[in-house]
Amino acid sequence: MDVRIYELVKRAIDQADPIRLLEIGAPQDEYESEIREITSRVGECASVEETQTLIQKIFVKWFDEHIAGPKENYRAPAEAIWAGLQSLVKGKVKNKPETE
């Protein structure tokens, strides 16, 4: 697991707190299972929309559709994750060693 991607996903999910569990005092690792699954699968996504769908599906899987809520609840973390991933990719390309 890429630690940078994990930290990016964790920050986005915890900040969004889509089910409001952290807000009511749940432990800081409340979303750990969801974060790990998102981290392992986010590389399959080709857009913010796909990232949003992935996140919502994972939350539905772990909590159920009623508790997870609508897809719209996952737009902000999807945008944050997508932007972070794009920055990581640009950083890899920028830091790629040149061949002679």
Domain containing residue 18: CATH number = 1.10.340
Give domain status of residue 42, yes or no: yes
Count of the separate structural domains present in the chain: 1
Q: Judge whether 99 lies within some domain.
A: no
For residues 73 and 57, what is the distance between their CA atoms, to the nearest angstrom?
A: 12
Q: How far apart are CA 54 and CA 24, in angstroms?
A: 25
Would 100 be classed as within a structural domain? no
Task: Report which DSSP code applies to 44.
Answer: G
**Residues listed for the chain:** 100
Is 69 within the bounds of a domain? yes
Find the angle CA(20)-CA(24)-CA(11) to the nearest 5 degrees.
50
How do residues 50-91 score in pLDDT, each as one tens digit? 999 999 999 999 999 999 999 999 999 999 999 999 999 887
Give the whole-angstrom CA distance, residue 87 versus residue 80. 11
- Report which DSSP code applies to 42: G
Q: 46: domain range? A: 3-94
pTM above threshold 0.75: yes
Chain segment 24-46, per-residue pLDDT in tens: 999 999 999 999 999 999 999 99
